[in-house]
């Protein structure tokens, strides 16, 4: 049975991944977001949440029994060893669910939004990788406006992520998101035509 072409969409924090994925969705493309899957996997009653509590303690839950994301992030953020332990709980589950959803996707192609694609060693069966790239200064501006973080906090976040060079090295396609929303939209539409044609050939 033929399947949709799998396009991995990645980029650093503040690069414009969310805007890009919304543009693909607007064009009717199935979009599978690993951040959304991650949130579903840590709902109360899910095995991944039980594992997180067993490893990091019941203080990772709020009074309603939901994951306290901020506390968990603060716990693992500055400790690479703890971060790897959390990733070992979540990443295989996220990957398996994302891949299962691609197999149900209809149309010539689907988009998997994977913010940490480089950091997870590209552990996804993808046909092409699209990197949304942005100059660092612009990333800092966007993150500050969106999340209200200080410059030093933003610097810390950026340092835990792959570098621009590492991301660009794995890219099949690149959109430099340093202009207007209209520019991003026209670039997405250009790639939509390419992926639709490639996907039709792939599934033919």
99 and 136 housed in the same domain: no
Residue finishing a domain among 104, 136, 164 = 104
Residues 6+ apart with CB under 8 A from 197: 108
67 and 2 housed in the same domain: no
List, for residues 125-176, the tens digit of each pLDDT value.
999 999 999 988 888 888 888 888 788 888 878 887 888 889 999 999 999 9
CA within 13 Å, CB half, 92: 7
Please state, in angstroms and rounded to a whole number, the distance separating the CA atoms of residues 164 and 132.
10
Q: How confident is the model at residue 192 (pLDDT cuts 50, 70, 90)?
A: very high
71 and 126 housed in the same domain: no
117 and 203 housed in the same domain: yes
Query: Considering the entire predicted model, what is its pTM?
Result: 0.88
User: Residue 109: pLDDT above 80?
Assistant: yes
68 and 20 housed in the same domain: no
Q: Write out the residue range of the structural domain in which residue 98 sits.
A: 35-104
Count how many domains the chain has. 2
Least confident range of 105-119, 143-157, 171-185: 143-157
Least confident range of 6-15, 22-31, 80-89, 120-129: 120-129
Q: What is the pLDDT of residue 59?
A: 94
Tokens of 87: 């990733």
92 and 117 housed in the same domain: no
């Amino acid at each position: 049975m033929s399947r949709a072409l799998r396009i991995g969409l990645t980029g650093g924090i503040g690069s414009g991944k969310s805007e890009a994925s919304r543009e693909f969705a607007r064009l009717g493309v199935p979009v599978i977001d690993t951040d959304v899957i991650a949130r579903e996997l840590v709902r109360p009653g899910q095995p991944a949440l039980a594992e997180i509590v067993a490893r990091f303690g019941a203080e990772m839950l709020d009074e309603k029994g939901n994951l306290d994301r901020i506390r968990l992030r603060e716990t693992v953020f500055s400790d690479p060893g703890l971060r790897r332990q959390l990733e070992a709980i979540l990443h295989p589950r996220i990957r398996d669910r994302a891949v299962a959803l691609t197999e149900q996707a209809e149309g010539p192609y689907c988009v998997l939004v994977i913010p940490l694609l480089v950091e997870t060693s590209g552990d996804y069966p993808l046909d092409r990788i699209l990197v949304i790239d942005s100059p660092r200064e612009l990333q800092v501006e966007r993150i500050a406006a969106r999340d209200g973080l200080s410059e030093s906090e933003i610097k810390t976040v950026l340092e835990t992520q792959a570098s621009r060079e590492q991301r660009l090295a794995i890219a099949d396609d690149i959109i430099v998101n340093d202009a207007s929303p209209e520019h991003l939209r026209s670039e997405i539409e250009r790639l939509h035509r390419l992926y639709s044609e490639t996907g039709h050939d792939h599934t033919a």
